[in-house]
Chains A and B, each alone.
Chain A
Amino acid sequence: MPQVAIPVLLPLLMGAISLALHRHVAAQRWLGVIGTGALLASTLWLLHTVWHEGVVVMHMGDWEAPFGITLVADLLGAIMAVLTGIMGFATAVYSTATTPRGHEHFGHWPLLHLLLAGVAGAFLTGDIFNLYVWFEVMLLASFALLILGGERAQMEGAIKYVTLNLFSSMLFLSAVGITYGLVGTLNMADIAVKLADVDQPGLVTVLAVMYMVSFGIKAAAFPLFFWLPASYHTPPVAVSALFAGLLTKVGVYALYRVFTLIFTHEVDFTHEILLWGAGLTMLTGVLGAAAQFEVRRILSFHIISQIGYMIMGLALFTPLALVGGVFYIAHHIIVKTNLFLVAGAAYRLLGSYELRDLGGLYKHRPFLGFLFLVPALSLAGLPPLSGFLAKFLVIRAGVEEASWGIVFIALLTGLLTLYSMIKIWGEAFWHGTPEHVPERDVAALTGASPDRDLWKLYLPIVGLAALTLFIGLYAQPLYELAEASAKQLLDPQIYIDAVLGEGSS
């Protein structure tokens, strides 16, 4: 069925057209908004199809699995694709008003499309080597987006980002090679079938750990996260927001895919490592954030701590834990992107990301204060927002498994997250404007007068905040989706039958 190919092909096509229109920035902007809007619509169509008809499969070039490349959308893949669409659309609208003109001339828009193509491809492919290729598409686009502008901080951040991500890619490629040597296939469903018959448990476990480390770097899990806080705060805020929402989650998705479909033979060992990793990821992330006083850096460290909750859902590996994990991913992508967008709006108004230079926002812009509180309190997990339910589900799963250590860490992390969010609220919004700060020419710093096109900044923020509220107040639809996708994840046979055909194993 073609639904599964459209979310991949559409951004590729849009990227190509944008590149051809490189002289016409206005046309690229329109194409950016329309293209990502169409991407969102196509992913919604895909989710609708998957929900009603089960796993959607398409064999490229009509080569039957396992010989050709297969695109597969199960519920998890489709949910992730929809989130890609939402984030792409929100950041595209936001970009029209915030991206410096120089960046647009040097390819901001084509790169944005290519990044989305890479992310969507990674979520929808059913072939492990193809997953590597999509990772690289996504990485190359993100490298270029990261350094557009060429400031010193961007260069330094990019060197760390590029090195560690390349290292992880090479590890991934080596693991794919060994997988191929072991089972002679690259189709993930076929690997899952054939790996069960491989009589070398030691080698299979080593392979599992290679995938774990490689995806762990991409997901910024402990202890491999150092590239993230070094680089995520350097590009323009719309790009940061997109990275924060989507890129690490591709790593998390790959972990979910590989450790529910392929490596389920030795759960006691692999998922135990994941559980330790999850706990330490939460703690280091949130403690790192507590020490920061730059809004984007605080938020970057919180990405890390939140990744811990998602991996915790996978590591506990019970039905409820996976429901919680999927729910958490969906909630987190929306909330985290939104927080970066709010930080960008504050920057537009005051010309700084440093907490000590900010202040008085609530007095002058009470509405922005409200818009910050919705995602911030949701991130910390306060009811009735989406984060409360997400945290509740994973922690409840931990309680049921009697994993008291991880439950304690998860609760503590929630508390410390609240501390960080209150810190931003207190310093940037509640406090008066600090006195020692010299008058800044905000318009010169941000390249636009504060009120110009401000609605374009508010529009995506309001939309995402509304989504957060909706999920919090009316969680049933997302919960049902997450529950059904967890069911699919726990029964790999559904995926395998859909790809290879009934009764093939």
Chain B
Amino acid sequence: MEPLMAILVGVMFATALYMMLRRSIVKLIIGLILLSNAANLLFFTAAGLERGAPPLIPLDAEGPLGVVADPLPQALILTAIVIAFGVLSFALVLINKAYQVVQADDLDQMKDTDT
């Protein structure tokens, strides 16, 4: 499972970077979305995959029996997803507004503030 996930994460990072390097601001946002998902998946994979073993403790036991999945990365990724959702919604509104002001879906038109 891990090698497959590693390849998937790599492909997602590569796609995200490719999209971010395009001129269109819509593609830029798609790249950012892919990037955040790639980072979450990387976190998930790096923390160790465990299949079909929820971290539940039986009523009469002190701790989990046998090997169980680590719940902490899942909680962390959930946090990261929520944060990324908030930030990306902001970014989406921002490019919409920027499109209205600049009247172009082209990063090359947005160089007034460059030096």
Partners in one complex: yes
Interface residues of A (CB under 8 A from B): 129, 132-133, 136, 139-140, 143-144, 147, 150-153, 155-160, 162-163, 166-167, 169-171, 173-174, 176-178, 180-181, 186, 229-231, 233-234, 288, 291-292, 297
Bound state CA distance, A328 and B108, in angstroms?
38
- Chain B contacts of A167 at CB under 8 A? 20, 32, 35
- Chain B contacts of A158 at CB under 8 A? 94, 98
| B3-16 Cβ-contact flags toward A at 8 Å (1 or 0) | 00000000000000
Most chain B beta-carbon contacts within 10 A, residue among A167, A292, A297: A167
Q: Once the chains bind, are A170 and B87 in contact (CB under 8 Å)?
A: no
Partner of A231, one of B87, B97, B107, B113: B113
Q: Once the chains bind, are A170 and B36 in contact (CB under 8 Å)?
A: yes
**Ordered nearest first, which 8 A-B pairs have the shortest CB separation?**
A177-B43, A181-B46, A155-B98, A156-B110, A170-B39, A173-B39, A177-B46, A157-B113
Q: Once the chains bind, are B47 and A166 in contact (CB under 8 Å)?
A: no
- Chain B contacts of A288 at CB under 8 A? 115
Q: Once the chains bind, are B90 and A178 in contact (CB under 8 Å)?
A: no
Please report whether the interface of chain A is mostly helix, strand, loop or mixed according to DSSP: helix
Q: A170-B39, A177-B43, A180-B73 are in contact. Are A136 and B87 (CB under 8 A)?
A: yes
Q: Once the chains bind, are A133 and B113 in contact (CB under 8 Å)?
A: no
Q: A139-B87, A297-B115 are in contact. Are A129 and B76 (CB under 8 A)?
A: yes
Beta-carbon contacts under 8 Å, B19-33 to A: 20, 25, 28, 32
**Identity of the chain A residue whose Cβ is nearest the Cβ of B13 in the assembled complex:** A174
In angstroms, how far is the closest chain B Cβ from the Cβ of A449?
29
Partner of B35, one of A143, A150, A166, A297: A166
- Chain B contacts of A162 at CB under 8 A? 87, 90-91, 94
In angstroms, how far is the closest chain A Cβ from the Cβ of B42?
5
Q: A140-B86, A170-B39 are in contact. Are A177 and B44 (CB under 8 A)?
A: yes
In angstroms, how far is the closest chain A Cβ from the Cβ of B38?
8
Give me 12 A-to-B residue pairs in the complex whose CB atoms sit less than 8 angstroms apart, sorted by A's number.
A129-B79, A133-B83, A140-B90, A155-B97, A155-B102, A155-B110, A166-B91, A173-B43, A180-B76, A181-B45, A234-B113, A288-B115
**Identity of the chain B residue whose Cβ is nearest the Cβ of A297 in the assembled complex:** B115
- Chain A contacts of B42 at CB under 8 A? 174, 177-178
Bound state CA distance, A159 and B28, in angstroms?
10
- Chain B contacts of A234 at CB under 8 A? 113
- Chain B contacts of A178 at CB under 8 A? 42, 46
Q: Once the chains bind, are B25 and A159 in contact (CB under 8 Å)?
A: yes
**Identity of the chain B residue whose Cβ is nearest the Cβ of A179 in the assembled complex:** B46
Q: A159-B25, A173-B40, A177-B73 are in contact. Are A143 and B94 (CB under 8 A)?
A: yes
B80 within 8 A of A: yes
